[in-house]
Amino acid sequence: DFDYISLSYVKSANDVRTLRRILYDKDARNIGIISKIETISAVRNLDGIVRESDVVLVARGDLGMHFSLEEVPLLQRTIIRKSIEYGKPVIVATQILASMTENPTPTRAEVVDVVTAMSEGADALMLTSETAVGKYPLETVKWLRRIIEAYEDKIQYPREKPPEIADVKQRFAYSIVVLAEELNAKIAVFTKEGRTALRIARYHPRTSLYAASNNKKIIRRLSIVWGVEPIEVKAENYLDGLEATYKALIEKEEVGYGELLVLTYGILEAEHTIKIVRVEHPVYPSISGESIS
């Protein structure tokens, strides 16, 4: 029961569609596809590949074998930006803290490299040889976490307002981010398939983003997405999901007395619900009667 399958040496969007058909035929449509961008053909067909994929991976090691070394930084930035444009999570991999294969501490250049990938908007950083064959696997993970935690609140992440031609779901996600930031409120979304959380995360909100779901697989898949804190709740419909999400946040002490919370779910119906709630009764949590109108 795994969540993603990684597709190596992708050349075009058709490769992704072929794997998708195989997964569907095997009744495994809920498995996501991570497309590794590592060849010249993949870079040429980047738009189509990103559009068809669930997650994109910047395979810097293989890219460095097909392109000159000085081109790799620009390729990394281009792939990350394209992934953000299509609302797809993006992983940066290979030689993240390569020196730690032999040494207990990273180099200054490696620290800068990690922060650069973060600044460009990467959702995740993937260690390879450092933990596969390195002498200091645990120390490497601790150092990477230390660097990320030191800088993630200091970075101005990329964000572009959706164009006028963008669909209503994308404009809705952007508006939720703007609303929450204007109110200095946290964001909580109940999602059954994870798409609404992905759309909101695309705009890198400068506030906490919680994604609640009644689907364990969706909870696991969302753990790779920038800024998303997944929460499992039990609810069969969207309005009950909002109530369950609010109660779960109170129980986990993620929101406290007096804080504002923007609660919503994916746009699926003609009539939609957005609740702006001030936490007033943490002992008996309920979003009924506490909405700010």
pLDDT category of residue 236 using cuts at 50, 70 and 90 = confident
Domain match, 10 and 138 both: yes
Q: State the residue range of the domain holding 173.
A: 168-278
The structural domain count of the chain equals: 2
Q: What is the pTM of this model?
A: 0.90
- Say yes or no: 15 and 144 in one domain: yes
Predicted pLDDT at 287:
63
Residue 142, CA distances (Å) to 19, 69, 80 in order? 35, 28, 24
More confident residue, 35 or 279: 35
Are the beta carbons of 92 and 60 closer than 8 angstroms?
Answer: yes
pLDDT number for residue 292: 42
Residue 182's pLDDT is 96
Is 64 found in the same domain as 202?
Answer: no
Predicted local distance difference test score (pLDDT) of residue 159:
85
Confidence at residue 87, expressed as pLDDT on a 0 to 100 scale: 93
* pLDDT value at 97 more than 80: yes
Q: Which residues contact 110 (CB under 8 A, 6 or more apart)?
A: 96, 97, 98, 99, 100
- 289 has a pLDDT exceeding 50: no
Residues 26 and 110 in one domain: yes
Bridging pattern class, strands 209-213 and 274-278: unpaired
Residue 167 confidence (pLDDT): 85
Question: Averaged over 39-68, what is the pLDDT?
Answer: 97
Q: Three-class SS of residue 45?
A: coil
Tokens (6 digits) for 230: 């997944």
User: Is the pLDDT at 100 greater than 80, yes or no?
Assistant: yes
**End residue of a domain, out of 151, 179, 208:** 151
The average pLDDT across 4-28 equals 97
CATH number at residue 43: 3.20.20.60
pLDDT in tens, 153-166: 999 888 888 887 67
d(CA 124, CA 156): 17
The Cα–Cα gap between 159 and 119 comes to 11
One domain for residues 20 and 135? yes
Q: Counting every residue, how long is the chain?
A: 293
Q: Is the pLDDT of residue 249 over 70?
A: yes
C-alpha atoms less than 13 angstroms from C-alpha of 230 in its C-beta half-sphere? 22
- Shared domain for 42 and 87, answered yes or no, is yes
